[in-house]
Each structure stands twice: as structure tokens, then as C-alpha cells.
Amino acid sequence: MSQVHTLRSYVLGSWHEASSDFVPLVDPSTEEEIARASSSGIDFQSVLKYAREHGGPSLRAMTFAERAAMLKELSKALRDHRDELLELSRRNAGTTDADGAFDIDGAGGTLAYYASVGKKLGHRHALADDDGTQLAKTEAFWACHARVPRHGVAVAINAFNFPAWGLAEKAACAWLAGVPVIAKPATATAWVTERWVEILLETGVLPDGALQLICGGTGDLLSHLGSQDLLAFTGSADTALKLRGGDNLQRCSTRVNVEADSLNTAVLAPGVGPDDDLYGLFIKDVCREITQKTGQKCTAIRRIFVPRDLLDAVQHDLVVRLRKTVTGNPGDESVRMGPLATAQQLFDAEHGVDELEGDGAVKIYGSGKRCDGVGSEKGKGFFFGPVLLRLDEPVDAELVHTREVFGPVATLMPYDGKAEQAARFVALADGTLVTSVYSDDAAWLAEFTAGASPYTGRIYVGSSGSAGFGSGAALPQSQHGGPGRAGGGSELGGLAGLDPYLQRIALQGDRAVVESLLGAETEDSTTS
């Protein structure tokens, strides 16, 4: 048995190793304990103070362009260590190289993107939102809106499925805005985050206190958050509900941004048949979204709606494609889908399928139970093959629209082909992160989009001219987040991604004075 690695936290400017209360981390392909984590011994109030007194002032002293240059360096460092992180992700999270790259490259790409956003903002400390408005007869009474960095800390709590990207998408925006970050990755996959944080710190470009890392529980950290702080949470709706109810968060109006569960939908519009290329794209995208990262993606497709007369054809074609998925140890070259990340995820996926069946869905493909994995010892590993369910009367069931099975599981359902009904079925999930729709019919798409838009954070349209990337990637240029059960939060989406970390202010006074407060660019002190 190889040595068990003890994860450390990075707090108050140095690495902290706990001596008790450890939680084991296991290789999900072998169930071997590979690491352990604990945050015992950390004084969380001091961690917050350190970020507020060191990281915040140093970041705010830098201009947007200087912080952008810093992000660029961090992105390069990640790229330089890509292979090492992919290997670690394979052991710690059970990812294939392609699935690990989705996380690691996504993290690097997000940092690089925000580096380019920040460079364009230039050497300024505040962002003017508008050109201003005259409030009286002369310009002696003028108003404009601006955004400035808040003086608090961003506590970034992330889910187990994106140990690198999850932190990057929060930290890139926080740092560019001038706000320090305390990262709290999900314990199960925190080794990847620990190593990544080490790589970021080794660059030497992050000011002291700009990044701290908690491996293990958060103790009383959240109860000390105040009015300038932000809790940026990604995880299950149940945990979100618990955390956002904190007395101090409500008393201080602490900002809380939540990215939670989502029963994302794919819709095939009428008029797209098995002979069409667009139909082929739909089948390919849906299967990828079911199996990528073993279905452990917040953006994965959970519900599939097709016109009733195409139900059998789509079922057949999805099954043919899903059959090609080889499930097993990512170390084996033939494997296309790794294990679920933890024993808990396996337990939850098995129960989730049982619950959907209990609600009327019929299993078409897959066992819905643990299986042995290719390249792994018999009886070991959290392997769980793809599952396709079918439900012929979508309105008769509830769980299929509300129970997120966080694994390679989706349910195929019919609708009447009308845009109005498809949009209404999307809405049954009460708020999702992403909805994908496949059609070349502009009028149908317009009606569907109008009906579905209030219930989803992003609509991906697959059409004959589309590039075929699919709906799964949360790209930094587009908003990530959705209403209702998806958490009601909003992240990324270009410059808007900085909003949670900035304070919007209306500035009033004589026009010349107001503009001088906002317009000033300082000297370029960056080297890149």
C-alpha cells in the first residue's frame, strides 16, 4: 500500500498540518485510502482577519491591469503543471484524462480569460458603469454609477466534482475585483486543490493573504462573515439551504451566491428526424452529457424531451451509443468513463434510480447498480454504468423533475411537439442551470425561448450551423447560474462575473469632480 498523504491547509501565510480528526480520501477506482484531511487547530477568525488586513489591501492597491497580469501568470503555472494535476485527478477523483482536462484546462482557461478582461480595464481602481446623467439645470449636479472593490473576503466553498475549475471561476473574478479568497474545496477531492494552490503560491505573484486554503471543515468560519464579505457556494441545494440561513449572514446582509442542483433539460424540436445531421448532433450531445465526468456535472442533462412520435427512435439511438461507454479504471486505455467519486455518490446514485423508478420511470438501459470496472479488481471501486430511463407521461411524475441523480442517469420523455409545452416541461424543474434545444425552426425556437428563459440560466441552441460544442461547459464568457432550485446565483459571464465582489455606488456632484474621481488611470507598473 502506498503512503497516505496528509493534506495541509494554507492559512496566515504558512502551511498548517492538523494532528487529529482526519477524514480519509480514497481512490474511487480501488477504494484504497490515499490521503486524509482535517482542519483541526485552525483559528478561523484569524484566517478572516488575515485576509482582510493583508490580502485585501494589497489587492486593492493594484489596478485592474496589474491584477490581470497576475491572473495571466497563474494561468501559465497551471498549464505548466497540467500533466501532474491530471494524474492526481485520476487518483483522487477517478477522472479519465479527458474528464480531468475538463476541470484543469477549464480552470486555466478561466484565469486566462479574466486576465484578458482585466487588461482591457486598464490601470484604474474603479469601474464607471455609465456616462452619467445631469440631475439639475446645469452640470453642477451630475450623477454616475461606479463599482469599487468591497473590503471583505470571498469564502469559496466548492463541490467535489470540480476541484480546480470550481476554485478558478470564483477566484479569477474575486482577485480581478480586488478581493482575497479563502478556498474550501470538498474534502473528497481536495488533494487536487491542495496541489493546485501550492502551484499558485509558488509563482510568487499572489500578494500575501490573497489566497488561503482550508482542507477539511470550516469550523466557525462562516459565523464570522460580515457585511463586506461574500459566501460563494457551489454544492447541493440541501447544504445551500443550511448555510445561507446563518444568523450573521442575514443580520449583516452578507452576500451569498449559490450554485446548486439542477435538472437540466435537452429538447428536440419537431421536424428534426433520424436522417438529419442535427438529429445526430442531438444524440451525440445528449450521450456526452450523460457520461462526461460520470454524470457528475452540474450542467449534465437529466431530462430529455422529444416529440412523442420520435420517442422509440431516440430511445433506440441513445441506447446504441451509450452501449459504447466502457466503464472502469481510468488507468486502463479502453476506459471512457471512470467511477463515481465517492462511496456516498454511489449510494446516492443507486437510490436515486430506485426513486425515479418508484415514481413511474422505466429503466431502458443500465442496471442502476454498482458494477465492476474494466481494469479494476472485482468488487472494488465505485463504478456505475450509464442509465437511461423512460417516462411516457411526464406530468404524472414529480421526482423526475425534482430529484437530481448526480451520476450518468437521464430520463427520456415525450411532449406534443409544441414549443409551449416543451417550455412548460422545462419549467417543471423549478429553475435550472442550462437548457439545450435542437432545431432549425426560428419561429419555434423564438416561442420556446420566450417560455423557457425565466426558468433557466442559459439556453444552448443546437442548429445545423452550430459548432457542436454541446451545453456542458460553463464558459467564462457566459453566465453560469440559474434561478430557483439551481440556487438563484450568477457567476462568470464576462465583466458581470465581478459584480458579486464589487460595490455599486452612485456618485453625485459637479460633473468635473465626479468624472475626475472615476476617470483616472494610474501609471502602468506591470511588466507584461
Q: Provide the binding-site residues for ligand NAP, judged by CB under 6 A.
A: 157-162, 184-188, 218, 234-236, 239, 242-243, 259-262, 298, 404, 406, 433, 487
Nearer to ligand NAP, 178 or 470 (CB): 470
Nearer to ligand NAP, 161 or 439 (CB): 161
110 — phi, psi (to 5°)? Answer: -70, -45
**Could you tell me the smallest distance in angstroms from the CB atom of residue 186 to ligand NAP?**
4
**Could you tell me the smallest distance in angstroms from the CB atom of residue 121 to ligand NAP?**
26
Catalytic residue list? 259, 298
Amino acid identity, residue 295? G
**Could you tell me the smallest distance in angstroms from the CB atom of residue 127 to ligand NAP?**
25
Amino acid identity, residue 208? D
Nearer to ligand NAP, 239 or 508 (CB): 239
Nearer to ligand NAP, 152 or 185 (CB): 185
Are 234 and 157 in contact by the 8 Å Cβ rule? The answer is yes
Are 288 and 324 in contact by the 8 Å Cβ rule? The answer is no
Nearer to ligand NAP, 21 or 521 (CB): 21
Query: Burial code of 129-159, b = ≥16 C-beta within 10 A, e = fewer?
Result: beebeeeeeeeeebebebbbbbbbbbbbbbb
Say which DSSP state 139 is in. T
Length of the chain (residues): 528
Q: Residue with CB nearest ligand NAP?
A: 235
Amino acid identity, residue 365? Y
The 3-state DSSP class for residue 144 equals: strand
**Could you tell me the smallest distance in angstroms from the CB atom of residue 147 to ligand NAP?**
24
435 — phi, psi (to 5°)? Answer: -130, 130
Q: Which cell is 70 given?
A: 497576475
Nearer to ligand NAP, 106 or 328 (CB): 106
Amino acid identity, residue 426? V
Task: Give CA–CA dist 83/78, Å, rounded.
Answer: 10
Closest by alpha carbon to 386, among 438, 320, 312, 311?
A: 320
Are 213 and 11 in contact by the 8 Å Cβ rule? The answer is yes
Are 147 and 127 in contact by the 8 Å Cβ rule? The answer is yes
**Could you tell me the smallest distance in angstroms from the CB atom of residue 436 to ligand NAP?**
16
Closest by alpha carbon to 184, among 222, 228, 229?
A: 222
**Could you tell me the smallest distance in angstroms from the CB atom of residue 153 to ligand NAP?**
15
